[in-house]
């Protein structure tokens, strides 16, 4: 009888342990959102990106005037830091927003590279088309950034 009692106690302990480990609080976790502090941080990182967007009109003037030397120089000069600025801005976004922002930024960078290539080839029509695409992608990127 003492052996049966020991075995029964052991089984009871195992069942209890199993039941306790399977249960737990079933509180739902709220999805991450942009807090006021996070938005303030994003706005600081957004400032140089917004300034680069404003500078795009100057690039358009260079293309319109077929000033190929300044077109290439402007892409590598005043707009040269845009990759860095956008990368840091993307990292500050919520995970769910980062993929789309990165894809849109990638399209923007490809447009700028193609403008640079068109400037080297002095191809006005290609530079003009890619400039318009760059503006669309830049605006689409800016629309993804939460505003305060």
Domain spans, the chain: 33-144
pLDDT tens track for 4-56: 667 767 676 666 776 666 666 656 565 678 888 999 999 999 999 999 999 99
Arithmetic mean of pLDDT over the chain: 88
In the prediction, which pLDDT does 31 show?
A: 65
Give the contacts of 56 (CB within 8 A, at least 6 positions apart): 79, 134, 135, 138
From the list 71, 57, 64, the residue with the least C-alpha distance to 119 is 71
The rounded Cα 135 to chain-centroid distance in angstroms is 17
Give the contacts of 111 (CB within 8 A, at least 6 positions apart): 130, 131, 133, 134, 137
CB 100 within 8 A of CB 112: no
Residue 148 DSSP label:
-
CB 97 within 8 A of CB 42: no
Provide the whole-model pTM. Answer: 0.76
pLDDT tens track for 80-120: 899 999 999 999 999 999 999 999 999 999 999 999 999 99
- Topology of domain 33-144 in CATH is 1.20.120
């Amino acid at each position: 009888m003492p052996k049966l009692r020991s075995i029964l106690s052991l089984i009871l302990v195992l069942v209890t342990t199993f039941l306790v480990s399977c249960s737990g609080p079933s509180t739902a976790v709220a999805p991450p959102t942009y807090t006021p502090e996070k938005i303030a941080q994003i706005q600081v990182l957004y400032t140089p990106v917004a300034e680069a967007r404003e500078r795009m009109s100057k690039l358009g003037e260079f293309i319109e005037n077929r000033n190929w030397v300044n077109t290439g120089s402007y892409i590598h000069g005043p707009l040269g830091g845009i990759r860095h600025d956008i990368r840091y801005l993307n990292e500050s976004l919520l995970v769910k927003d980062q993929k789309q922002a990165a894809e849109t930024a990638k399209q923007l960078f490809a447009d700028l590279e193609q403008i640079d290539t068109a400037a080297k080839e002095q191809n006005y029509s290609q530079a003009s088309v890619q400039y318009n695409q760059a503006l669309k992608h830049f605006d689409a990127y800016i629309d993804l950034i939460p505003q305060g």
